[in-house]
Amino acid sequence: MANKTKKKKQTEIFALGNEAVVEGALLAGCDFFAGYPITPSTEIAEEMARRLPCLERGVFIQMEDEIASLGAVIGASLAGRKAMTATSGPGFSLMQEHIGYACITETPLVLVNVMRAGPSTGMPTSPAQADVQQARWGTHGDHPIVVLSAGDVQECLEMTVTAFNFAEKYRTPVILLLDEVTAHTREKITIPDPEGLYIYSRLLPSMPPEWYMPFEDNMRGVSAMPPLGSGYRYHVTGLTHDDHGYPTSKPKEVESFINRLFRKIDQFFYDIQIVDEIQCGDADTCIIAYGCVGRSAELAVQMARERGEKVGLLKLKTLFPFPRPVVEKMLRQCSSVLVPEMNMGQISREVKRVNNGLSKVNTLNRIDGQIITPGEILKKLLKG
Amino acid sequence: MAKVTQLIHNYLRHTKKFPHVFCPGCGHGIVLGSLIRSVHAQGIPKDDIVLVAGIGCSGRIPVYVDFNTVHTTHGRALTFATGIKLANPKLKVIVIMGDGDAMSIGGNHLMHSARRNIGLTALVLNNHIYGMTGGQSSSTTPFGCYSTTTPFGQMEKEFDIAEITKACGANFVARATVMQANLMDRLISTALINPGFNLVEVITPCHTQFGRKNKYKTTVDMYKWLKKNATPIEKYVDMPPEKKKEVVSTGVFSHKDCAGLEERYAQMRQNLNGGAA
Amino acid sequence: MSKDMPLNRFEIRLSGLGGQGIITLGKIMGQALALDHGYYVTQTQSYGPEARGGASRSDLVISSSPISYPKTISLDLLVALSQEACNKFFTNLKAGGFLVVDTSMVAQTPTNIFLGLPLTDMARKIGLVQTANIVTLGALTHFLPFMRAASVRKSLKSILPSKIIDINIKAFNAGFNAAKKEYPDAPEKWTSS
């Protein structure tokens, strides 16, 4: 995807992280956006409001709240659109109900959450990374979900394309977590040539309507999804349902349904797991970071290497399903691991769960609305 | 009669196992029958219809009918419908809600849908109670009435769904009771073909959860009450205020034909793209 | 110094009050340096909830190689368009770093070594006080040896709405020329970055 080879159609722009999200979404084929203004995600809605009406089928709508926004996005996705919304902390909390609905009805959509300092209204213009566990477990009930993150502006574009691809491929909502720093950083980015870009769109049924089963358990665990009004009349419900979509509470049917929801994500784990390994080869100490803190860590690694310390960096771009194998590999390899993050320890919790005595897991937490600096990480590294 | 029943059978899902969830004496089936007759009379193909519903007894209606059906979350049916209509304006999107759905938890969405004048047909099945959860009060439970959460009588004033929707600017607003099948057919037919946001409020009895607690001995008493007290809106406006409290006004409250949001949006998009070309 | 000088994390902070156009200034400078000069640039910002008044700042990190940490660590250049900003951020300036102040807004500077121009007064004289940020841009284009006036003008034209381009080009030239007149040898003073 990060196609660095010279192509005619690629262009360079100087853009905000939020604007790069829009570029990525449009490249991925997004033609529906519903949202509600909230700092620091608003630039995504504003840019969409300008761009979408200029597309042949593009639709932008500002809804009355975040609940309504995600409702409209799900509706549009059921009607065959590639749809997304963007929000921040308080709006993300309101959206939880419909994230669950999208999970159980297997509706593809992309939700961008630009994390700001919380809880509640918190600090609207300051960054944080404290919605990580909410993204995983925020909506009630057992459900699988894909959570991605991005740390620089080019990544904002690339991960938005990836988010759409995963959503369409696995019929699942995908949450892209940004932070205020990443969303409000301007950088030069390359918009790739659409011709060479890998774009996935949901499978449409090929069988006649009377044979179609909307929630069939097949090899992939993902069934074809026709748009509403295309002749395949089926029932969509937030109740647990059988292969036909009709409500059921028979233990056997419910069990196999929920198991399939998990299986469809779990069995493609290696496709979904995206990480960057930076100087990890010979590292005896490893930093595990994501989002804007990943960039601080990158400079910290450089500074530590200049002092002769063998430090590596594992940058997580997929947060959930948690990239366990690669984290486990680093835990086996290194005598200690440092997890810096702008929360009280939400990913370090996952790292510790995987660790199981393999290595020493140190944490570095900051919750004052300020980014963790390379200097702080270096200091913590040298202290051990 | 047999002919009408046969007609309705043509629109039911035969793969879905009956019986349905509705109590004996429930008015919801009458509304569904009226909807099917109206759809049939207007000649709208099954494939073009999306039936969206919220949560509650009314939310269970779509599963029995052979349209594209979406059973959504409590109170939010209109938001899903808005997304569907904007994504594909060719679809005929019908939203079925209860009073709890439309006016209590989803009141905000109803007001905004009416203000936007988005091209939807909304049916609000108002039984003045939360039936499925066991008879709690809703925002349309009349003042003084009893429910499991107002055991000593409702202290709050009730909402008038039709009047609120009219005030919010909806194109077509009307009300009928389930005892007025012909009127209901006419109103729903108009609501299906009129542009913009169209709402028909139907007063439907719930004896199980409302009637029993409010001095209606049998279901039949509730139907009798509706039959006796349904008053055409033209007559209703001239009644003295104390008399108004005892009756239900029915008929057409508002009828305009302003373009729906999806039409205005398409026009804007065309202007923009025409300018660019 | 050469126009294509290599930079290793040259850090600039543009600061002042909300409404002075600080963020727009950062955006135009950043775009010129990133797209036309070919540097790696990160531009970050910080602002309060107020749309007008309150503190506003925009930071730029400019480098010849890819930038990892996007925020500033210690400043090579601080531009202060308000007294409050000057007082607040002066301590972030590294030893040997440069201070540029708007002398019509900053009454007292914490050091005698600074580059000062009455930027806001100049904008007022041009006829639109809101162009103070572009007057500043003009002055900075003279002060910073790695910035080319032609490229900055191009970036200016691509970002600002066409209705207000003329007056802003006028503001840019006024700032550039005044800086050249007052501090002709300023660009030569950058010995390190």
String of DSSP letters for A18-85: HHHHHHHHHHHT--EEEE---TTTHHHHHHHHHHGGGSSS-EEEE-SSHHHHHHHHHHHHHTT--EEE
Amino acid at B243: K
Give burial (CB, 10 Å; 0-12/13-18/19+) of A219: exposed
Residue C97 lies in a domain: yes
Q: Which residues contact A227 (CB under 8 A, 6 or more apart)?
A: A78, A79, A80, B88
pLDDT in tens, A171-209: 999 999 999 999 999 999 999 999 999 999 999 999 999
Q: Which residues of A touch C27 (CB under 8 A)?
A: 14, 186
**pLDDT, mean of residues B216-220:** 94
Residue C4 lies in a domain: no
Residue C49 lies in a domain: yes
The partner residue sitting opposite C49, judged by closest CB among A125, A186, A302, is A125
Q: Which residues of B touch A83 (CB under 8 A)?
A: 83, 87
Residue-wise pLDDT tens for chain C (193 aa)? 344 688 999 999 999 998 899 999 999 999 999 998 889 999 998 776 666 667 789 999 999 999 999 999 999 999 999 999 999 999 999 998 999 999 999 999 999 999 999 999 999 999 999 999 999 999 999 999 999 999 999 999 999 999 999 999 999 999 999 999 999 988 887 754 4
Residue C111 lies in a domain: yes
Flag the least confident range among A254-268, A273-287, C36-50.
Answer: C36-50
Res A8: pLDDT: 57
Q: Which residues of A touch C35 (CB under 8 A)?
A: 12-14, 188
Q: Return the percentage of chain A with pLDDT > 90, whole number.
A: 95
* Contact present, C and B (at least 3 Cβ pairs less than 8 Å): no
A304: left (phi over 0), alpha (psi -120 to 50) or beta: alpha
Where do you find CATH 3.40.50.970 in chain A?
Answer: 11-196
**pLDDT, mean of residues B237-241:** 94
Tell me which fold the domain A11-196 belongs to: Rossmann fold (3.40.50)
Look at C42 and A298 and tell me if their CB atoms are within 8 Å. Answer: no
Structure tokens at C80: 């202060």
Query: Which value, in Å, is the radius of gyration of the alpha carbons in chain A?
Result: 21
Q: Which CATH number, 3.40.50.920, 3.90.226.10, 1.10.8.350, 3.50.50.60, labels domain A276-383?
A: 3.40.50.920
* Contact present, A and B (at least 3 Cβ pairs less than 8 Å): yes
Res C2: pLDDT: 41
Look at C40 and A299 and tell me if their CB atoms are within 8 Å. Answer: no
pLDDT confidence bin for B223, thresholds 50/70/90: very high
pLDDT in tens, A29-63: 999 999 999 999 999 999 999 999 999 999 999 99
Pairs of residues, one from chain A and one from chain B, whose beta carbons lie less than 8 Å apart:
134
pLDDT in tens, A77-97: 999 999 999 999 999 999 999
Residue C36 lies in a domain: yes
Residue C188 lies in a domain: no
Res B112: pLDDT: 98
The residue with greater pLDDT, A1 or B107, is B107
Within a 13 Å sphere around the CA of C50, how many CA atoms are in the beta-carbon half? 10
Q: Which CATH number is C61's domain given? A: 3.40.920.10
The partner residue sitting opposite A188, judged by closest CB among C26, C35, C44, is C35
Res C49: pLDDT: 67
Contact A94, A67 (CB under 8 A): yes
The C-alpha atoms of residue B2 and residue B18 are separated, in whole angstroms, by 20
Phi, psi of A56 (to 5 degrees): -60, -45
Residue C189 lies in a domain: no
- C50 to chain A: nearest residue by CA? A125
The pLDDT of residue A10 is above 90: no
What are the C-alpha distances in Å from A6 to residues A10, A12, A27, A193?
Answer: 8, 12, 18, 10
Domains and CATH numbers, chain B: 22-276 (3.40.50.970)
Look at C43 and A186 and tell me if their CB atoms are within 8 Å. Answer: yes
The partner residue sitting opposite A76, judged by closest CB among B50, B71, B87, is B87
**pLDDT, mean of residues B155-166:** 96
**pLDDT, mean of residues B177-190:** 97
Res B277: pLDDT: 41
The C-alpha atoms of residue A167 and residue A162 are separated, in whole angstroms, by 8
The pLDDT of residue A2 is above 50: no
The partner residue sitting opposite B63, judged by closest CB among A54, A101, A235, is A235
Number of domains in chain C: 1
Mutation target to probe the B interface, by most B beta carbons within 10 A, among A64, A104, A210, A213 is A64
Mean pLDDT of chain A: 95
A233 touches chain B (CB under 8 A): yes
Structure tokens at B158: 């009730």
Q: Which residues of C touch A302 (CB under 8 A)?
A: 68
Residue C190 lies in a domain: no
Look at A184 and C41 and tell me if their CB atoms are within 8 Å. Answer: no
pLDDT confidence bin for B276, thresholds 50/70/90: very low
The pLDDT of residue A1 is above 50: no
pTM exceeds 0.90 for this model: yes
Chain A, residues 274-313, CB within 8 A of chain C, namely: 292, 295-296, 298-299, 302
Measuring CA to CA, which residue among B172, B162, B175, B276 is closest to residue B232?
Answer: B175
The residue with greater pLDDT, B41 or C3, is B41
Instruction: Name the H helices within chain A.
Output: 17-28, 42-51, 66-78, 89-104, 132-137, 153-170, 180-183, 251-266, 269-272, 292-306, 324-333, 347-355, 374-383
Q: Range of C73's domain? A: 10-183
Res C51: pLDDT: 66
Res C46: pLDDT: 79
Res C55: pLDDT: 79
